[in-house]
Structure 1
Amino acid sequence: MRKNIILFLGLAFSIQMANASVTDSTRAVAVKGATNFRDLGGYTTKQGKQVKWGKIYRSGEISKLTDADLVLLNQRHINFIVDFRGNDEVAKAKDRLPQGAEYLQLPAGSENLGNWMAQLGKLNSADSLMESFYGQTSHLKAKYKPFFQALLKQSDSSALLFHCTAGKDRTGIGAALLLYALGVPEETILDDYLLSNEFRKEENEKMVKGMVKMGIKEQVAKDLAGVKKEYLMATYQAVLSEYGSMDSFLETEMGLSDSDITSLREKYTK
């Protein structure tokens, strides 16, 4: 698998956005009160299977879901919500949950975002800051191991939604780890990550204008609002440097045995 990781790193220079599975129109979930809400189904794995539709969803924060949105989530059997936001974020915008849904908050790594944001006014570019954020590994176990455990425990009739505030960074890392565990090729994982730029296009434009009004340089605002392949690559490079391979990381830090990987693939691919 080390060869696969090295291949993934090389894809930073050769990736193409032509994968029909990634841009499938059925991926979007038509909610009015959240952005970047999409189904992770349909991706073809290296084993020749597909990630099941209607089982795993990713999104931005869901505090503004409408009543109609909640009905839609119930219809999709979304019975478990994983929230990667910090305590301050949650206090300001508490999730609206589907009826009867279980809720799990995993704030590790989000504790000092306020201090981090305070640096923005001094920057001409936020790339280094974003790559530094993505390259931190100390919180990954506390943040994503319970996420995998929740996935393993889901019933066949239940779907799971995971999210952060924008649904692109902390959620993007979680999606990348999960898709890798399910056997999805590295180029598809990166395509899915970059798709946030399309799903958040209007929201990003508003975000950039708002930050510019606050005195933040436009390029810095654009770097923060969007996602770039180099950001996610920083996570993979850090994992590779510290653990030797993604497979070793999943085993030692995420606690996923070979039987757990098999169970995940049986549960979420077909």
Structure 2
Amino acid sequence: MKYNGLVDIGVNLTHRRFDEDRAAAIERAAAAGVTSMILTGVSLEESRAAVAMAAEHPDAMRATVGVHPHHADEWSEDSVPLLEALSEAPAAAAIGETGLDYFRDFSPRPVQRHAFAAQLELAARLGCPAFLHQRDAEADFLAIMKEYRPHVPAAVLHCFTGDQALLEGCLELDLHIGVTGWVTDQRRGGALRECLPNIPDGRLMIETDAPFLLPRGLPAKPANRRNEPAFLPHVLEAVARLRGGDPDALGRMTASTSRKFFGLPQ
């Protein structure tokens, strides 16, 4: 099936793995019906690059600006004003990627929690949506979000990999949910696959998280094993199967939700 107007809400397009064919990857995505992307900022350097790249495609791209928990040990008193300046760019659409990651623990957990809270405070003060990350840190994540969510206008937990209990906790906080190719992994993605039908229509978004999380079951697996936004239709179709719906209708619905959330042209 040919799709049009799909929105990929999580693309690490500034990642070095796209250095050799970034323009071609954008063209392949458009040919696959992915006409809009949200570029993910995971550090101050990558956030600057994401904003600059999105500014070159104002009708099709927006960027998030933030410090991922993997990079939380880079957080300093200068990070808030630097992120605030980046957020003022027309291409900037959300604060993040921010959150907690107790699976990798690349940064000490207290440092992760401090950087997370500081970015939520910034999002609240600026009236910006938040682009969130959580892995193996459910209790602390929900506790921090419960404190700040009333003051943040909107928030999406990107790359949701949790179970029904986490989903219910997120929905109680009125979070949007981003689903990646993790849903195609029957072994690791079992909990997600089970609770996927319970995500309300207006809260669901789809994404690739490219170049990471290459979906399983692609008709032709790329030789470099790199994920890219052109594979978003494969994620869409897997989500539609598990929800028992029409992929074209689901694509239109998730695109509309994503465009409204990130301020993309409808």
Same-fold status (TM-score > 0.5): no
Greater RCO, 1 or 2 (C-alpha within 8 Å, sep 6+): 1
Compute the TM-score of the two structures, normalised by the length of structure 2: 0.36
Higher strand fraction (1 or 2): 2
More helix by share: 1
With structure 1 as the length reference, what TM-score do the two structures score?
0.36
Larger radius of gyration: 1
